[in-house]
Amino acid sequence: MIPANFTPWLLFNYWIDYKIGGLDPTTAHIHQVISVTICGLAIYWVLSHWMSTWLAASFSLFFLSTPVSYTIIQILCTRHYIEGLLYSCLSVVLLKNFIEKGGYWKLIFSAIAYFVACLNKEVYVPLFGFFTAYLTFIAINNRSWSAIRHLLPYIVIVLIYIPYRAYALGWDRLISGYGPKIEHQGITDVVNFFTRIINFNHFKGLMYSYVLLLFVSLAVVFKANKLKTLGIFMVGASFAVGVLVPAYPVMPTARVNYNYTFVAVFVMLLLPVLWANILCRSKKLNLGINLLLIIAFSFSTYKNLSVYNPQSPLAKANLHRDIFKRTKVEGEAFLFAERSFSILKPAGAKWHHAGLYDIRERVLQSETGPKACYKICDCPKSKAIFAYSDGELTKVETGKETCN
């Protein structure tokens, strides 16, 4: 099973849920709420090291209320995105604390937290680019390259992860991942990637503000120190390229699933805020920027939480409010029904139904039970056919359908 090797931390999560609550999904839902809560606190914790507590808090709430987060949070099988971000934040805080106060154990635990983030979801591997940019930034500020040697533990993790990933997927899929290969359209896909992110999350107005914010910040530093501005610009450009290069081969996946843009959205939102706070040392200017951002994030959070968001894939399904009851009725039939029959067009994806078959056979040790069929003409003629209707499974009358 690829997920058992490729994203083992997610399987470890499921094991915890199963050991505590068995097949009752209540435990999984509680675990999800706890993970989201701790992730929000972790985002706040790491950002409070670089910006005011109020700005860090408003950014954390804003990010978790965006459409892409809204989608990730509702789907239990995407918990590894959330927890991966949590461990990434822990890794960054430990590194910063090590740089400021020393203690090599912090550097080692930072690298371990980074490794756990990668084992949650491969989208956190490019965090190495942040470590490189951050330590380079410190080296430029201190006019000493000694800080670069602290990259060694992270390099070791990357060197471990690359063959591990190749073992799980094969060397031919080292970059493309385990999904179907999609033809890359070059610069068109790069533009589409960022355009889809901005449109999906309603960021058009915010992006214009961010561009203005960056130019103001750079102009302020340029006026004070041209050489320092050039160094900061080079580090920022290197970081942007470092993040973009690993993402480039998988950018076409944004056409398939917005889950894959979760980290990209976080980086796109955070970088301008971080830059503005680091570059603008004038108290009045910094206060003005913070106040402007807090108001913008607070307004956006209110808008996201008060208006039912139609962009989420789950939200579209939830327009039919009976979907939760339907999923439960059909799911319990797949797991516990003792006779063999067909369920016509059940809710959910085919892999979801296949997972229920596996649970029934491997965990409940039951070889007989219903199977899904997605077209009535493909249903076995020897078995009765049932379909969901008004809160229960009812028998479907056959014989009148045309299968040509």
HSE-CB at 192 with a 13 A cutoff on CA atoms is: 15
Q: Which two three-digit tokens encode residue 349?
A: 């994806």
Task: Compute the residue count for the chain.
Answer: 404
Q: What is the model's pTM?
A: 0.81
Q: Which two three-digit tokens encode residue 126?
A: 């490019």
Would you say residue 187 has pLDDT above 60?
A: yes
CA distance 212 to 204: 13
> Can you tell me the mean pLDDT for 205-227?
69
pLDDT digits (tens, 9 = 90+) for 132-175: 878 887 887 777 777 888 989 999 999 998 888 888 777 777 76
Residue with tokens 């561009």: 211
Judged by average pLDDT, the poorest of 75-84, 266-275, 368-377 is 266-275
Q: Which two three-digit tokens encode residue 256?
A: 């398939």
Kindly indicate the confidence band of residue 1, based on its pLDDT and cuts at 50, 70 and 90. very low
Residue 373 DSSP SS3: strand
CA distance 209 to 132: 28
Burial (CB < 10 A; 0-12, 13-18, 19+), residue 399, is: exposed
CA distance 85 to 266: 9
Q: Are 385 and 379 in contact (CB under 8 A)?
A: yes
Kindly indicate the confidence band of residue 356, based on its pLDDT and cuts at 50, 70 and 90. very high
Residue with tokens 């892999």: 351
Would you say residue 72 has pLDDT above 80?
A: yes
Q: Please tell me the predicted confidence (pLDDT) of residue 19.
A: 93
* Residue 81 identity: Y
CA distance 304 to 297: 10
